[in-house]
Amino acid sequence: MLQLSKKLLFAIEAVVDIAYHAGAGPVRSSDISRRQGIPRRYLEQVLQRLVHRGILAGQRGPRGGYRLARERRRIVLGEIVRIVHEVEGAKDPVEEAMGSELGIKVVRPIWQDMQDDMMKRLDGLTVEELCNRARESDIARASAKIPDFSI
């Protein structure tokens, strides 16, 4: 079942934060945690899963952090939702074989249709679009605060 869990919300916010605040170097998880108010214990778990699934790329070391593994216009929210739901391991009650005939033949198909519609919308919404919404909302970018000393 498609539901908004804390872990899902944190994952989406973290990916958009990385995309929005990315500068020349990777974005540190401590900065994401501070900006978004996400507890580090949740954040690291989610970030590692997103690295393993090719959404993010991690860089170790004192200047380490995370960056997008692909262009932000090529990452859709539906992909993030599927990854987090896989991590959460919750079984969708709509897919269970047990239940009443009314539930299986009438109620569950309606729920499945609504879930399918929601996933289509999420599959059509890119991280770039969310970054554009952040910019339109005048959310300050961390990378814009870094002075450029190149000559």
Q: Give the whole-angstrom CA distance, residue 83 versus residue 87.
A: 6
Taking a C-beta distance cutoff of 8 angstroms, is the pair 65, 24 a contact?
A: no
Q: Give the whole-angstrom CA distance, residue 99 versus residue 116.
A: 21
Choosing among 3.10.640.10, 3.40.640.10, 1.10.10.10, 3.30.465.10, the CATH entry for 6-91+126-145 is 1.10.10.10
pLDDT digits (tens, 9 = 90+) for 54-101: 999 999 988 889 999 999 999 999 999 999 988 777 677 767 778 888
The domain spans of the chain are 6-91+126-145
Q: Give the whole-angstrom CA distance, residue 45 versus residue 74.
A: 23
Work out the average pLDDT over 30-45.
Answer: 91
- Structure letter (DSSP) for residue 119: H
What pTM does this model have? 0.84
- Residue pointed to by tokens 């990452």: 75
pLDDT digits (tens, 9 = 90+) for 103-127: 889 988 998 899 999 999 999 999 9
